[in-house]
Structure 1
Amino acid sequence: MYDWNRSCCESSQPYSQLETDKRFFFPWFPNQGGGSAFGPPSSPPPIEPGQSPQAGPPSEPPPSFVPQQTQQIGTFAVDPGGIRGCLFRFTYVWLDRFQQFWFYPTFVGRTSVAGYRWNGFRWMYFGIDLNRIDSFTCV
């Protein structure tokens, strides 16, 4: 019979230490600062070129106007180099299927972009494939 008063995953470490050492639960994850996966971080996590160490949402709402859309007829996907110039700037995005919104990009990858999308009340973390973006403009 199972003893419900006994923990299924006992450890010799105190609970407070387990709470802060996430690697106990996910030992296959690399250490964020590099170095040994089971030792303390040797340095802060690396910052990629063009990225900011403080990539949180903006502290204010986006502008109250909607910019005029620029036509990009015949474009199949947005170039990552083009939208990279909008990093950490208010950017208005028009998607396929007529969706449009204010966006604050914080990361641009080879095929996607991530950042914060304004939902009318607050910033929400959001990511999307570049081929879904019809056009964009940053202010």
Structure 2
Amino acid sequence: MTAPGTETRGVRSAARRRSGWRTQGPVVAVVAAGGALGALARYALALAWPTPPGGFPWATFWTNVSGCAVMGVFMMLITDVWSAHRLLRPFFGTGVLGGFTTFSTYAVDIRRLVDAGRPGLGAAYLLATLCAALAAVRLASAAARRVLTGRQR
């Protein structure tokens, strides 16, 4: 014989799992769709602007810097200007921009430069990307805030 109430515990936990999937399923789907779009855009940019062996990886550099600038504007828009649909941030911020920016390729590019006997260029790329990406987020969000809301922060 089972203890009173135990037969409903399994039913409740199964219902909770189904409910959790209903709320998280759309988020997973929009992140995946956005990530695919962002990765396709990054791939197209890399094909259009290939990096010669031992050369500075400009396509990856500008991909990361521009993606960070767009993220700065996007986050300012959805926090200061208008309220966004609950799936917009996961789709665009996590999906599209997460798929577009590529800090893993950035690390691989540094390694390739070092392996090609260009450690100085690798170090310059490491620092330039880091500084430019952080500056892009800060400056783009501040500029967008000032233009769209008339405020400084």
Q: Which bin holds the TM-score, normalised by the shorter protein?
A: under 0.3
TM-score by length of 1: 0.23
Q: Which has the higher strand share?
A: 1
Structure with higher RCO (Cα < 8 A, 6+ apart): 2
TM-score by length of 2: 0.22
